[in-house]
Amino acid sequence: MAYRITFVCTGNICRSPMAEHVVRRRLAEEGLDVEVDSSGTGGWHVGDPADHRTVRTLARHGYTSAHSARQFSPAWFDRYDLIVALDEGHQRELHAMAPSAEAREKVRLLRSFDPQAVDLNVPDPYYGGGADFEECLELIEAAVPGLADEVRKA
């Protein structure tokens, strides 16, 4: 059975779908059997595609971007091996939803997988411009090697 990861941000149109596509490709390139998806803590964008700036940034770097936003459900804690929050606010919300201490332990911050990270938050690029989306991508890519190590250990 494949290892299952979901990335969680606020509306599931910027950071988490970007992380989903980057990590899916990178882990597949390493031959790891992993199912990767994403969701948001809020339901404002359910059914929407990824933000056009996310799509543009992913395409510029050779990643896919097909996406339909969805909201994370507390019932999903049993579905995933790892639930990756994009910032500390998402982590707090996920911890509050978790039905048990075991479920809370599945929640990790993406930047915690980057040994060079000082700030563990991936800033929300939604209200910014292209440079903010590029920075978001860089922070996500920097965490991939550590995340891949975590998957290998599991």
Tally the C-alpha atoms within 13 A of residue 83's C-alpha that lie toward its C-beta: 29
Find the catalytic residue in 9, 14, 26, 53.
9
Task: Calculate the alpha carbon distances from 56 to 32, 38, 65, 150 in Å.
Answer: 27, 18, 9, 29
In the structure encoding, which two tokens stand for residue 50, read together? Answer: 């990824």
9 is catalytic: yes
Verify whether residue 132 is a known catalytic residue.
Answer: no
Judged by phi (left if over 0) then psi (alpha if -120 to 50, else beta), residue 62 lies in left
Q: Which of 14, 15, 24, 37 is an active site residue?
A: 15
Name the E strands within 1-154.
3-9, 34-40, 82-85, 107-109
Q: Which of 48, 81, 104, 124 is catalytic?
A: 124
Catalytic residues: 9, 15, 124
